[in-house]
């Protein structure tokens, strides 16, 4: 059997941070709910969830604020214009101003990216 045949989806995405409280507050502000918090080996750990997407935020002193192998994660939107307007209103750091378009899928996509407190990128995307 292939290894993935034992699995049924993504369990969580881990985000190391040296700004734990700020990171938790950031993800709560964009709509995630904190589902679990604990301390592991003296470091705070929190899980946040939106729909089926779960994030693990954990304190770490080994933080590299630069792009790694995973560049971003994306969430699906039904109304990209309203989502963008709200992101601007709420003061989120937007990577590139405006809504971008790419000719992906049958009719293209429209998207924008915000930057989190650990320089992580979150893409808000609408498939047209």
Give the CA distances from residue 89 to residues 12, 92, 93, 100, in Å, rounded to whole numbers and listed in that order.
Answer: 29, 8, 11, 18
User: What predicted TM-score, i.e. pTM, was given to this entire model?
Assistant: 0.78
In angstroms, rounded to a whole number, what is the distance separating the alpha carbons of residues 46 and 78? 28
Place 4 in a pLDDT band, splitting at 50, 70 and 90: confident
In angstroms, rounded to a whole number, what is the distance separating the alpha carbons of residues 128 and 118? 30
Which tens digits make up the pLDDT trace of 32-77? 999 999 998 899 999 999 999 999 999 988 776 665 656 788 899 9
Q: Chain-wide mean pLDDT for the chain?
A: 89
Q: Domains of the chain (ranges plus CATH)?
A: 10-63 (3.10.180.10), 71-128 (3.10.180.10)
Q: Which of 45, 40, 38, 27 is nearest to 118 (CA)?
A: 27
Instruction: Name the burial class of residue 86, with classes exposed (0-12), middle (13-18) and buried (19+) by CB atoms within 10 angstroms of its CB.
Output: middle
Which tens digits make up the pLDDT trace of 7-28? 777 788 988 889 999 999 999 9
Q: What pLDDT score was predicted for residue 118?
A: 87
Q: Which of 11, 14, 39 is nearest to 27 (CA)?
A: 14
Check residues 69 and 97 and name the one with the higher pLDDT.
97
User: Two tokens at 128?
Assistant: 């047209």
């Amino acid at each position: 059997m292939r290894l993935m045949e034992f699995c049924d989806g993504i369990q969580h995405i881990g985000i190391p941070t040296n700004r734990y409280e700020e990171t938790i507050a950031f993800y709560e502000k964009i709509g995630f709910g904190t589902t679990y918090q604990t301390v592991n080996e003296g470091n705070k750990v929190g899980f946040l969830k939106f729909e089926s997407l779960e994030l693990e935020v954990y304190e770490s002193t080994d933080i590299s604020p630069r792009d790694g192998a995973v560049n971003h994660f994306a969430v699906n939107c039904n109304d990209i214009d309203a989502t963008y307007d709200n992101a601007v209103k709420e003061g989120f750091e937007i990577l590139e101003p405006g809504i971008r378009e790419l000719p992906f899928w049958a009719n293209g996509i429209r998207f924008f990216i915000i930057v989190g407190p650990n320089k992580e990128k979150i893409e808000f995307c609408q498939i047209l």
